[in-house]
A and B are shown apart, each in its own frame.
Chain A
Amino acid sequence: MGLNYYQIKKQVLKARKLVIKATAAAGSGHPGGSFSMAEILGCLFYKYLKYDPKNPGWEDRDKLILSKGHASPGLFSNMAVAGYFDPKDIVTLRQFGSKLQGHPDLKCPGVEFCGGSLGIGLSYSIGNALAARLDGKNNRIYTIIGDGESDEGQVWEAAMTAAKYKIDNITAFLDRNFIQQDSYTEKIMPLDEELIGNDLSEMWKDASRWKTGDKWRSFGWNVIEVDGHRTEQISDAIRRANETKGLPSIIIARTVKGKGVEHMEDNPQWHGKAPQQDIVPIIEDELESQFMIAPSIIAGDMSNLGKEVERCNEGRADYIHLDVMDGQFVPNKTFDHAEIQKLRPLSLLPFDTHLMINDPVKHVRNYIDAGSDIITVHAEVCDESSFGEICDQLRSNQVGIGLAINPDTDLPQWSYKFAEMLDQIIVMSVVPGKSGQKFIESTHEKIQRITKDLHDHKFDGYIEVDGGVNLENIGACFADGGRAFVGGSAIIGQSDVRMIIKEFRNQVLDSRRRLLIKKAHDLGGTDLVNKWIDLHVVGKKKDGLVQITKELGFQ
C-alpha cells in the first residue's frame, strides 16, 4: 500500500484498539506480544507487504508467517484494518464458530500459517521461499518469530537451513520483547545474558548485554538491529533486508511487551491475559493519546545543521522539525530544499518540513524530492484550490499532509473539507519568523477549540504545537489536545538533548496520567481509579499515580 509515516501510525493505532476490543470480548488472548510487534506489522501491512484482501489467494502475493502465533490478535486486527474482513468481526475472536481462532489458522482467508506450536514458522517459511525460487517468483516471505520462541531448537535448525540454501527471499523479524510466559526471557532462558534480579534496565537498555544478534550472525545471517517501535527504523531495515542478496536477513527488533499501555508495558502478566471491560475505555484513551517530540534545528547552530540533526538522532527525537523561511512570508530567511536534501542522509527520523513561504504550491515538489516525510504549508497563503493541488501531490508521493495557522489566524472554512486527509495541523503559538519567543497563552484555548472542531470533522492526525513550548507548558498543551510538540531553544538549545527530550516526555506522561485518572473517576469513581492504578505493578509507576490521585482529591 505504501502509506507514509503518519498513515502507518494511524493504522497501527486502529489495530492496537482492535486488539484490546478483541481480547476484552474474548476474555483471553495475548495483547502483550501483539503490541510489541504492532509497529512491525504496521510497516508490513501498510508499506511493504503485497496482498489483495479481496483475493487472499492471489498467486503473486507476499506471505506473512506469524510464527509466534499466540500474538494472533495483532495479526487479525491488522487484517481487519487492511480490509480482509469487517473490523466489527474482531469481537468474535476465540468464539465457537469464528474464523478468528485462538491462534492463526487457515480458516481465516489471508492467514498463511497455522501458528500456535512454537518453533515451526521459520522452517515453514523456508519451504515457501524455496517453492517461490523454484517457480521463479519474486514474492517475499515475511516471518515473525518471538524471543521466547527462540528457546525452541527448531528455530536454529531453520537458521542453518536458510543459510545453507542462501534464502534471500525471506525477511525474518525477531520480536525481542524480553518477556515469555513465565517471566523475563533472561531469567527463563537467556538469549543475551542471564538476568540476576528484576532490573529490566539491566536487560534491554544496556547494549553491552545484547548477544542475540551475534548468535544469528554466527549462523550466517545478515542481522539488522532496530528499535522495534520506531516505524522509520523498521521501514529502513526492511528495505535493506529486502535488498540483501545471497544470504538470509533477520531484523532484530528490540521491543516492549504491551507497548502503548503503561500498565501492560514490560509486565510479564500481560503475556496472555485480556483486559477487563471496565478498563477498556481508559486503555483506549491512553492509546489515542500517543505523542511526539520534534526538535526544531534552526534553534541550534545554523552554520552546522548536520550536527544538529545528529543531536536529534542521539537525543531520540520522534522527528525533526525543519523551518523553511523565505524572507517574504516571514521576515527571516533560513534554508531551502537544497539544504534538506543535504541533511536527508544523516537521519532516518521523519523530516517534518514546515514551509513558511509564499506560494507553497509552486515549491512543494522540491520539498518532496528533497526527502520530506511530511510537508506543512500555511493556510494564510493557500486557498481551497491550491491546497487541494498540494494535497494531491503529497498524497501521490506518500508524503504526509500538514496545514499551519498563525496565532491570529483561525482554520479557514475550506480547510475542514480536507480534515479527514490531514496528517497534521500546526498551531503556531508564537508569531513565526524567529526562534526563542515566548508562548502565547491564548493558544491553550485555541488548541482546545480546534481539537473539538476537528474531531467533529473526523480529523485523526496530530495537532502540533509550535513555538515557545517548554517543560512548564507542554503538559497543559497536551491536555488541550496537542499531540506533537516542536521544541526550539528549549530542546535544541540545551546541551543534553537526550535528557531534555526525556524530561519533555515525562511532563507529557504526567499530564496524560492525570487525564486518565480523571477518565477513570468519571466512569467508575474511586473504585475504578484504584482498580486501574493497581494494574501498574512494574517499577515505580504506581507511586506516581497514587500521588496524582491525591492531588486531584480522588482519594
Chain B
Amino acid sequence: MSTEHLGDMRTEYSKALVAVGEQDPNVVVLGADTTDSLKTSNFGKKFPERFFNVGIAEANLVSVAAGLAYSGKTAFASTYAIFLPGRCVDQIRNAIAYPSPGDKKGLNVKLVVSHGGLSVGADGGSHQQIEDIAIMRVIPNMRVLVPADSTTVSKLTWIISQQYGPFYMRMARSKTPIIHNDSQEFQIGKGIVLRDGSDCTIAACGITVKMALDAANMLQQDGISCRVIDCFSIKPIDKDLLEKSARETGSIVTCEEHNIIGGFGSAVSEVVSESYPVPIKRIGAQDKFGESARDNEIPQLLEKHGLTSINIAKAVKEVRSKKT
C-alpha cells in the first residue's frame, strides 16, 4: 500500500450510525456540543426525536445515556476522548458498566469518541488523551476497541450496535490511511493478521497499524520477517493469536498512540507473560504528555514520542536480540 488512500473515521461513523438508525428504531444518539465535529448531527437531522444534545455536560451525557439504555434503548454517546474517559470515569463505571440487569453485563451504551491520542495535534496536550485505553480496560464489563481506519470504524459501529453491552471505541481526529478492504471481516476479540512473518510480531492498534506495516516492509529489506497484527479489539484481546504469535515468532513489539503504562502494550504483556513469555518492547508515549502540533507537524510530535516506523523497526531488532 504505497499510495495512501485516506479515510475519515468520523464520516464513516456518522454514515454507519444513520444506517444503523434506519434499521433499528431503538438506537438513540447523544452528544455534548461536539456533534458537528463528530458528525453525529447527521443522525440528528435524520432522526431528530432520537438525538439528544445535552450541552457541555459530559457526566450528564453518560448518565442520560445510561437511563435510556436501562429503558431498552441502544444508546450511542459521543464526544472527544478527553471528555469521556478523561472526565467521566465515575459515571462510566457506576452508571454504565456496573449496573447489570438480570444476566446481562452492564447497560447497553456505546461510548464512541474522536480525538484519541497524540495525533489530535494543534489543540495541545490538554486535549490529547493518552490514558483512555488504560482507564477503560480496567473497568469490568467494558470492552475497548481502537480501530485502525475508517473501514474498521464503519464495520465496528454496526457490530457494536448489535452486541449487547458497554463498548468504548476510540477514533483519531485526522484522516487515516485505509488499511482494510470492505470485504474484511471483523470479530470482537479477534485480531487480524495483516502480514505473516516468523522473526517477530508487531502488534498495533489505531493509527500505529500503518506504521507497523511500514516497519515490516523496511525490515523485510534487512531479511527480517515480521508478522503484523491489527489488534483493534483491545478488550477482549485475542489471547490465542497473541500466544501463538509469541510461540511462533519469539518476540513482540507493541505500538499504541497512548501511554505505554496500562495501555495496549500492557494488555499484550499481561497475556503473553502468563501464556508464553517472550521479550516484548512497547512503543508509545513514555509516560509523558503531548503538546501542540499543527497538522503538518503531527509526524514530528509522534516522532518525539517514538511513534515512527523507523523506531518500530529498531525496536524489532532490539527485542529480537533478547530472544533466548
Nearest CB on B from A52, distance (A): 16
- The one of A106, A120, A128 in contact with B68, judged by C-beta atoms closer than 8 angstroms, is A128
Question: Cβ of A126: which chain B residues have Cβ within 8 Å of it?
Answer: 64, 67
One of A153-161, A318-326, A469-477 at the interface: A153-161
Query: Measured between alpha carbons, how far is A125 from B65 in the docked complex, in Å?
Result: 10
Contact B50 A123 (CB under 8 A): no
Nearest CB on A from B110, distance (A): 14
Question: Cβ of B66: which chain A residues have Cβ within 8 Å of it?
Answer: 120, 123-124, 127
In chain A between 198 and 212, which residues have their CB closer than 8 angstroms to a CB of chain B? none
B130 interface hit (Cβ, 8 Å): no
Question: Cβ of A117: which chain B residues have Cβ within 8 Å of it?
Answer: 90-91, 94-95
Contact B63 A160 (CB under 8 A): no
Nearest CB on B from A32, distance (A): 23
Q: A87-131 vs B: 1/0 string, CB under 8 Å?
A: 000000000000000000111000011101101100111111111
Nearest CB on B from A67, distance (A): 10
A414 interface hit (Cβ, 8 Å): no
- The one of B63, B90, B94, B98 in contact with A127, judged by C-beta atoms closer than 8 angstroms, is B63
Interface residue count on the A side (C-beta < 8 Å): 30
Contact B65 A127 (CB under 8 A): yes
Interface centre among B59, B71, B101 (most CB of A within 10 A): B71
Question: Cβ of B59: which chain A residues have Cβ within 8 Å of it?
Answer: 119-120, 123, 153-154, 157
Contact A134 B28 (CB under 8 A): yes
Question: Cβ of A114: which chain B residues have Cβ within 8 Å of it?
Answer: 94-95, 98-99
Nearest CB on B from A118, distance (A): 10
Interface centre among A123, A124, A153, A157 (most CB of B within 10 A): A124
Known: A106-B100, A114-B95, A161-B55. A132 touches B63 (CB 8 A): no
A165 interface hit (Cβ, 8 Å): yes
Closest to B101 in A: A106
Interface of B is mostly: helix
Known: A114-B95, A117-B90. A124 touches B70 (CB 8 A): yes
Query: Measured between alpha carbons, how far is A496 from B35 in the docked complex, in Å?
Result: 63
Contact B60 A158 (CB under 8 A): yes
Contact B54 A127 (CB under 8 A): no
B140 interface hit (Cβ, 8 Å): no
Question: Cβ of A154: which chain B residues have Cβ within 8 Å of it?
Answer: 57, 59-60, 63, 91
In chain B between 64 and 105, which residues have their CB closer than 8 angstroms to a CB of chain A? 64-73, 75, 90-91, 94-95, 98-101
Contact A106 B99 (CB under 8 A): yes
Nearest CB on B from A256, distance (A): 29
B164 interface hit (Cβ, 8 Å): no
Question: Cβ of B101: which chain A residues have Cβ within 8 Å of it?
Answer: 106
Nearest CB on A from B55, distance (A): 7
Query: Measured between alpha carbons, how far is A158 from B62 in the docked complex, in Å?
Result: 11
Q: B44-59 vs A: 1/0 string, CB under 8 Å?
A: 0000011010110101
Contact B68 A157 (CB under 8 A): no
Taking Cβ atoms with an 8 Å cutoff, the residues of B that contact A are 28, 49-50, 52, 54-55, 57, 59-60, 62-73, 75, 90-91, 94-95, 98-101
Taking Cβ atoms with an 8 Å cutoff, the residues of A that contact B are 105-107, 112-114, 116-117, 119-120, 123-132, 134-135, 153-154, 157-158, 160-161, 164-165
Q: List 25 A-B contacts (CB under 8 A).
A: A112-B70, A113-B70, A113-B99, A117-B90, A117-B91, A117-B95, A120-B59, A120-B91, A123-B64, A123-B66, A127-B65, A130-B28, A131-B70, A132-B71, A154-B60, A154-B91, A157-B54, A158-B60, A158-B64, A160-B55, A160-B57, A161-B55, A161-B64, A164-B55, A165-B52
- 9 nearest A-B pairs in the assembled complex, by CB-CB distance: A127-B67, A131-B71, A123-B63, A157-B57, A157-B60, A124-B67, A127-B68, A114-B99, A127-B64
